[in-house]
């Protein structure tokens, strides 16, 4: 229930009635004298409590919705807001031209369905005044003003581990205690220090886009300087130019921007929304960025440049922020693919800006599209065609100082009547660490985060019980439609508070294991993108001394929501709960599979593919070939030659991959995967090319006879025969006969390991090394990973049984030619690299082989690929997370064969 008393707004009555802090006070905007005849005041009387269930900081869209939900669920609360009205970012950012660049069809609350009929947006991209009015409308409608203390800043918050409560200190001198403490302070709410010498010298008016005067600014006839060319600047420059007599824009880094094509809401989105609002909203919640979008399936490199530009033009015409980036599937992870978009965007700038030199200065080069926040504008680039607008390139003419009257830059000094700082924010963490938040054992969040924010799910942090962040670092936040992410976080916090209350718990705190697991997952996600190469505020690079990590979570809104839901569904996985003499610690890590691998698994699950072990061998072969046809080909190599060689039971096909470098090259005899049943000398083509190029070795990929037509030991015998032939013919193949190694994946890893043993036992050839990628080493299949990873990771326990059943009788499986791990002696084998994958049924037998080799004195490099599955490391150019392990494999081959 709302903890308020409601009455007609009457400031005179209020004044005499309730002095601040006593208990009953006036709420609502500070009005000075009550204006006569004003009837639409939002205000009244309320009982102000100094001990509540929840204190919320911030009354933007997050704080407002949370207040509503807390009341609806019977929690007492105080919402403390530094401004004198609701709206958060839309309260502060009043610079000319400020607009939301997510369409209003998507940038609206969904929690109150009545709003859809009660509020009509006038434009596709709402301008700041309209969004602020929307926030005020909702606040009035739901009586939220009565739950918010305005003009109050939180200066500190301290956790008391005895009382299990937070003590919150406010700028008014008031102290409030609360069971739970929520920072709903927004991601871009603390303007960063412009970090330019002499800023305090300037005597004229200074404006900061993120703190724009409420009454507006008239630049008519003025000489104005704007510093910065991010979103705020790009939106405001055309408006400032329209008034100023002279405008100089100081640009350090040019940005990608596309026209907003503002106007009515997009007809297609409106139709979808009106057709089935629930379905539309559900799609947004499970989408990648919080806006329903068709997911791209085409690589920017898979179409001609003309086709790519035609597709991009179509996206461009939509006038939607996310459309360009969603044209192709690989722009976020592949620099070359991304460059296609960059070229397109630059061509657009050239079309608009008349002076070629200015056009080039405005053209971003050196950072990938999307790694700095892309912008949307109305006539931004056109503004530079105006005679009174000048662009200064700070890379050539840096600002040496702001002076009393203007700016010194390069060899110039210019006077200005006003300076506008559009220099951005201390994003994501600024607002949180600016408040002195002290958790258990006196640890401050600022101290804990000095090397980067550590959170569990971007919602909580170890050592800070009952503390929550809405759209905190480590959550999709600024890489998403904020409305969707805000609602999701509010609902998760609400549900958690209800769950705790119902179960009789007082506190909730993430465990260190869970938090570290989330950090690793966030890093894994970041590692496969292009973000790290760019100096952006996403990476903390805009604030000197800020740690360099990717602050938002890049794994996607839908996946993130599922993760948070899963944490709850699994009994608060990764959290410790306590209260009333009881405690529950449900330790664990919620996402361990590499993010790109996870996406492939999800896609395959959605496709509902038949399991291969339900097929006949012929069907499985056809299926495997069809899947292979769809994958990227792998890197170019010098040449590829197909041939045949004599196997143990007849001719065997092979494919030779030669590097482009000068030979003779060391030689690697490679054996393909496919469970001895399917695959061929060309079925691991991308991996062979990758190894050939990166290890600079000649690869001879050899076919071998397949089961069930040719059962054990046909594959093993063919493998050894092929090795002997290649060794004998290495020189004529262009290789170096003195430097030979074997390699193989899966069943091919089994064939390679067996070939190495046979070579040792049968007088050669002498091998320099063996590279075994997720090999089969033990036909007993008794290892724990067969059970632990039995299902869900492509290679299943039952598929492995199907392979073995086709390949070898039970009685043969313990033979070392079938199970190299069971060989009585592993001494004297060549140095090995054994790669195993965390989520592979074969993991433990591969690990056991690595250990056994080491135990026998064989030099071994053992790579346990975290978060990988049996197949993922072979998926060249499809799964970026496989690149580092493959690089290690190539390095091992180079070392063996040096
Ligand atoms: O800030 P920014 P912003 N000397 O950090 C430059 C959201 N937003 O306020 O790139 C010289 O993007 C800096 O240069 P560089 C949106 O998420 C949304 O514009 O660091 N220049 C850059 O050009 C956005 O991304 C909307 O080399 C200096 C600029 O200042 C985020 O807010 C609208 C400098 C800062 O750009 C922030 O945008 C507006 C220095 N010392 C904002 N320091 C909508 O939804 C910084 N710069 C529409």
Cβ(65) to ligand 1 under 6 A?
Answer: no
Q: Compute the distance from residue 427 Cα to the ligand 1 centre, in Å.
A: 10
Q: Confirm or reject: Cβ of 230 under 6 Å from ligand 1.
A: yes
> Which run of H or of E encompasses 141?
helix 128-141
Q: Are 217 and 193 in contact (CB under 8 A)?
A: no
Tell which residue, 665, 635, 668, has the closest CA to residue 654: 668
* Residue among 8, 10, 7 at smallest CA distance from 35: 10
CA distances from 523 to 221, 334, 453, 591 (A): 50, 17, 12, 12
Contact present, 435 and 157 (Cβ < 8 Å): yes
User: In sequence order, what are the beta bridge partners of 409?
Assistant: 399, 412
| Burial degree of 225 (CB within 10 A; 0-12, 13-18, 19+) | buried
Residue 281 alpha carbon to ligand 1 centre in Å: 30
**Residue count of the chain:** 898
CB of 397 sitting under 6 A from ligand 1: no
Q: In which residue are the tokens 């004529």 written?
A: 732
- Indicate the pLDDT class of residue 26, thresholds 50, 70 and 90: low
425 lines ligand 1 (CB under 6 A): yes
SS3 of 291-360: CCCCCCCCCCCCCCHHHHHHHHHHHHHHCCCCCCCCCCCCCCCCHHHHHHHHHHHHHHHHHHCCCHHHHH
Name the residue of 231, 254, 402, 409 whose CB sits within 8 Å of the most ligand 1 atoms, as the mutation to test its pocket: 231
> CA geometry: angle at 662 spanning 658 and 667, to 5°?
45
Work out the average pLDDT over 118-132. Answer: 97
Residue 458 burial class via C-beta count within 10 angstroms: exposed 0-12, middle 13-18, buried 19 and up: buried
Residue 519's φ and ψ, nearest 5 degrees, are -60, -45
> Is 750 touching ligand 1 by the criterion CB < 6 Å?
no
- What pLDDT was estimated at residue 781? 83
- Give the tens place of pLDDT for each residue, 419-433: 999 999 999 999 999
Is the confidence at residue 33, as pLDDT, over 80? Answer: no
Look-up: residue for tokens 């570290």? 516
Is 482 touching ligand 1 by the criterion CB < 6 Å?
Answer: no
Q: What is the pLDDT of residues 625-669, one digit of tens each?
A: 998 888 889 999 999 999 999 999 999 999 999 999 998 999 999
What pLDDT does residue 12 have?
35
Lowest mean pLDDT among 15-24, 440-449, 536-545: 15-24
Cα of 542 to ligand 1 centre, how many Å? 9
Question: Per-residue pLDDT for 13 more than 80?
Answer: no
The CA 228 to ligand 1 mean position distance, Å, reads 6
529 has a pLDDT exceeding 80: yes
Strand partners, 258: 376
* 3-state per-residue secondary structure call for 763-800: CCCCCCEEEEECCCCCCCCCCHHHHHCCCCCCCCHHHH
| Tens of pLDDT, residues 713-728 | 999 999 999 999 999 9
**167-202 pLDDT tens trace:** 999 999 999 999 999 999 999 999 999 999 999 999
Task: Give the pLDDT band (50/70/90) at residue 46.
Answer: low
List all residues 6 or more positions away from 208 whose beta carbon is below 8 Å from its beta carbon.
Answer: 191, 420, 421, 423
**To the nearest whole number, what is the mean pLDDT of the chain?**
94
Across the range 686-707, mean pLDDT stands at 98
Residues with Cβ within 8 Å of 545's Cβ and at least 6 positions away in sequence, in order, are none
Q: Do residues 714 and 721 make contact, with C-beta atoms less than 8 angstroms apart?
A: no
362 in contact with ligand 1, CB cutoff 6 A: no
Q: Is 79 in the pocket of ligand 1 (CB under 6 A)?
A: no
Task: Write out the two tokens for 888.
Answer: 């290690």
Closest listed residue to residue 417, CA positions, set 252, 239, 248: 248
Band (pLDDT 50/70/90 cuts) for residue 22 is very low
Alpha-carbon distance of 607 to 277, in angstroms, equals 26
Percent of the chain clearing pLDDT 90 (strictly above): 91
Q: pLDDT by residue (tens digit) across 466-503?
A: 999 999 999 999 999 999 999 999 999 999 999 999 99
Cα 77 to chain centroid distance, Å, stands at 33
In this structure, are residues 717 and 742 in contact, taking their beta carbons and an 8 Å threshold? no
pLDDT at 891: 98
> What's the mean pLDDT in 527-554?
96
- Ligand 1 mutation pick, 125, 196, 228, max ligand atoms within 8 A of CB: 228
Q: pLDDT band at residue 29, thresholds of 50, 70 and 90? A: low
CA of 388 to the centre of ligand 1 (A): 23
Higher pLDDT, 29 or 691: 691
C-beta of 192 in contact with ligand 1 (< 6 A)? no
489 token code pair: 């976080």
Distance 538 CA to ligand 1 centre (A): 11
Report how far ligand 1's centroid is from the alpha carbon of 102 (Å): 17
d(CA 427, CA 439): 22
Residue 254 CA to ligand 1 centre (angstroms): 11
pLDDT digits (tens, 9 = 90+) for 844-890: 999 999 999 999 999 999 999 999 999 999 999 889 999 999 999 99
Output phi, psi for 489, to 5 deg: -65, -45
C-alpha 284 to ligand 1 mean position (Å): 27
| 213-222 long-range Cβ contacts below 8 angstroms, 24+ apart | 213/94, 214/94, 216/94, 216/96, 217/96, 217/418, 218/243, 219/243, 219/244, 219/418, 220/244, 221/245, 222/246, 222/417, 222/418
Res 815: pLDDT: 97
Alpha helices in 608-674 (DSSP H): 617-629
pLDDT at 27: 55
Determine the Cα–Cα distance for residues 684 and 672; give it in Å rounded to an integer. Answer: 6
CB-based burial, 97-131: b 16+ in 10 Å, e otherwise: bbbbbbbbbbbbbbeeeebeeebebebbbbbbebb
Residue 380 pLDDT class (50, 70, 90 cuts): very high
CA of 551 to the centre of ligand 1 (A): 16
The CA 315 to ligand 1 mean position distance, Å, reads 24
What is the rounded radius of gyration, in angstroms, for the C-alpha atoms of the chain? 32
Question: Residue 139 half-sphere exposure, CB side, CA atoms within 13 Å?
Answer: 27
422 touches ligand 1 (CB under 6 Å): yes
Ligand 1 mean position, distance from CA 227 (Å): 10
Question: Among 473, 470, 472, 467, which Cα is nearest to 508's?
Answer: 467
φ, ψ (nearest 5 deg) of residue 209: -55, -40
Cα–Cα dist 617/623, whole Å: 10
The pLDDT value given to residue 715: 98
421 ligand 1 Cβ < 6 A: no
Judge whether 290 and 555 are in contact, CB under 8 Å.
Answer: no
Judge whether residue 574 has pLDDT over 60. Answer: yes
Least confident span in 28-42, 249-263, 797-811:
28-42
Average pLDDT over residues 12-28: 40
SS3 681: coil
Ligand 1 neighbour 393 (Cβ under 6 A): no
Decide whether any atom of ligand 1 lies within 6 Å of the 254 Cβ: no
Ligand 1 centroid – CA 234 distance (Å): 9
Q: Is the pLDDT of residue 35 over 60?
A: no
Query: 886 C-alpha to center of ligand 1: Å?
Result: 38
CA atoms within 13 A on the CB side of 668: 35
Task: Indicate whether residue 252 lines ligand 1 (CB < 6 A).
Answer: yes
Residue 338: HSE in the Cβ half-sphere, 13 Å Cα cutoff: 19
**833 CB within 6 A, ligand 1:** no
Q: What residue owns the CA closest to ligand 1's atom 29?
A: 228
**Shortest-distance Cα residue to atom 39 of ligand 1:** 232
Pairing of the two strands 406-409 and 399-402? antiparallel
Q: Please determine, for residue 32, whether its predicted confidence score (pLDDT) is greater than 80.
A: no
| Pick from 253, 251, 203: nearest CA to 226 | 251
Whether residue 232 has its Cβ less than 6 Å from ligand 1:
yes
CB 237 near ligand 1, within 6 Å: no
Residues 6+ apart with CB under 8 A from 270: 105
Q: Is 642 exposed, middle or buried (0-12, 13-18, 19+ CB in 10 A)?
A: exposed
Nearest residue CA, atom 20 of ligand 1?
542
Which ligand 1 atom is at minimum distance from the Cα of 125?
A: 48
């Amino acid at each position: 229930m709302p903890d308020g008393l409601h009455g007609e707004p009457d400031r005179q009555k209020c004044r005499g009635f309730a002095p601040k802090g006593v208990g009953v006070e006036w709420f609502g905007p500070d009005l000075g004298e009550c204006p006569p005849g004003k009837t639409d005041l939002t205000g009244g009387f309320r009982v102000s409590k100094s001990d509540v269930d929840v204190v919320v900081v911030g009354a933007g869209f997050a704080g407002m919705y949370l207040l509503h939900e807390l009341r609806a669920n019977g929690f007492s609360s105080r919402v403390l807001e530094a401004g004198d009205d609701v709206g958060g970012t839309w309260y502060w950012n009043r610079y000319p031209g400020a607009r939301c660049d997510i369409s209003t069809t998507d940038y609206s609350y969904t929690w109150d369905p009545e709003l859809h009929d009660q509020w009509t947006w006038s434009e596709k991209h709402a301008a700041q005044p309209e969004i602020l009015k929307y926030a005020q409308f909702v606040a009035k409608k739901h009586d939220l003003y009565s739950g918010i203390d305005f003009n109050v800043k939180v200066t500190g918050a301290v956790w008391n581990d005895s009382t299990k409560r937070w003590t919150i200190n406010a700028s008014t001198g008031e102290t409030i205690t609360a069971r739970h403490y929520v920072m709903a302070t927004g991601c871009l709410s603390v303007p960063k220090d412009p970090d330019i010498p002499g800023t305090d010298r300037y005597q004229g008016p200074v404006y900061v886009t993120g703190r724009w005067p409420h009454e507006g600014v008239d630049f008519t006839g003025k000489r104005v300087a704007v510093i910065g060319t991010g979103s705020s600047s790009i939106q405001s420059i055309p408006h400032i130019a329209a008034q100023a007599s002279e405008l100089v824009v100081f640009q350090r880094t040019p940005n990608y921007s596309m026209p907003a094509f503002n106007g009515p809401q997009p007809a297609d989105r409106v139709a979808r929304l009106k057709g089935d609002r629930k379905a539309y909203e559900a799609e947004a919640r499970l989408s990648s960025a919080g806006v329903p979008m068709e997911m791209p399936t085409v690589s920017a490199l898979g179409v001609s440049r003309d086709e790519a530009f035609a597709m991009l033009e179509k996206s461009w015409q939509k006038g939607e922020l996310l459309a360009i980036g969603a044209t192709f599937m690989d722009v976020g992870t592949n620099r070359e693919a991304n460059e296609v978009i960059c070229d397109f965007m630059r061509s657009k700038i050239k079309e608009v800006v008349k002076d070629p030199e200015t056009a080039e200065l405005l053209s971003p080069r050196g950072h990938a599209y999307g790694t700095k926040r892309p912008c949307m504008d109305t006539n931004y680039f056109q503004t530079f065609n105006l005679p009174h607008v000048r662009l200064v390139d700070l890379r050539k003419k840096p600002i040496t100082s702001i002076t009393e009257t203007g700016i010194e830059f390069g060899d110039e000094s210019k006077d200005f009547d006003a300076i506008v700082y559009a220099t951005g924010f201390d994003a994501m963490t600024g607002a949180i660490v600016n408040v002195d938040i002290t958790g258990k054992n006196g640890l401050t969040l600022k101290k804990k985060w000095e090397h980067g924010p550590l959170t569990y799910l971007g919602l909580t942090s170890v050592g800070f019980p009952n503390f929550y962040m809405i759209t905190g670092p480590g959550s999709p936040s600024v890489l998403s439609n904020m409305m969707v992410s805000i609602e999701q976080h509010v609902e998760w916090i609400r549900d958690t508070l209800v769950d705790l209350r119902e179960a009789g718990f007082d506190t909730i705190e993430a465990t260190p294991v869970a938090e570290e697991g989330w950090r690793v997952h966030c890093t894994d996600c970041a590692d496969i993108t292009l973000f790290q190469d760019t100096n952006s505020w996403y990476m903390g690079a805009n604030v000197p001394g800020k740690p360099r990590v990717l602050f938002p979570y890049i794994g996607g809104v839908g996946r993130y929501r599922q993760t948070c839901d899963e944490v709850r569904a699994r009994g608060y996985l990764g959290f410790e709960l306590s209260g009333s003499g009881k405690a529950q610690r449900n330790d664990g890590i919620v996402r361990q599979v590499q993010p790109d691998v996870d996406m492939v698994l999800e896609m395959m699950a959605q496709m509902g593919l038949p399991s291969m072990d339900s097929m006949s061998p012929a069907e499985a072969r056809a299926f495997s070939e069809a899947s292979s046809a769809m994958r990227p080909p792998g890197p170019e190599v010098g040449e590829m030659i197909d041939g045949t060689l004599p196997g143990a039971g007849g001719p065997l096909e092979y494919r030779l991959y030669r590097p482009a470098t000068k030979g003779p090259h060391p030689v690697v005899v490679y054996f393909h995967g496919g469970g001895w049943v399917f695959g061929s000398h060309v079925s691991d083509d991308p991996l062979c090319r990758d190894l050939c190029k990166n290890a600079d070795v000649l690869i001879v990929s050899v076919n071998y006879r397949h089961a069930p037509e040719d059962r054990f030991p046909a594959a093993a015998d063919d493998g050894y025969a092929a090795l002997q032939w290649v060794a004998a013919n290495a020189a004529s193949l262009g290789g170096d006969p003195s430097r030979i190694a074997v390699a193989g994946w899966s069943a091919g890893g089994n064939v390679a390991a067996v070939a190495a043993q046979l070579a040792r036992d049968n007088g050669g050839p002498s091998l320099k090394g063996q590279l075994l990628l997720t090999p089969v080493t033990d036909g007993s299949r008794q290892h724990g990973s067969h059970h632990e990873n039995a299902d869900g990771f492509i290679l299943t326990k039952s598929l492995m049984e199907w392979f073995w059943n086709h390949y070898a009788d039970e009685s043969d499986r313990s033979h070392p030619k079938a199970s190299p791990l069971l060989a009585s002696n592993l001494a004297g084998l060549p140095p090995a690299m054994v790669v195993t994958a965390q989520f592979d049924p074969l993991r433990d037998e591969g690990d056991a082989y690595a250990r056994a080799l080491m135990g026998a004195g064989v030099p071994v490099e053992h790579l346990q690929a975290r978060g990988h599955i049996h197949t993922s490391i072979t998926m060249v150019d499809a799964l970026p997370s496989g690149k580092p392990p493959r690089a290690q494999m190539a390095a091992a081959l180079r070392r063996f064969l040096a």
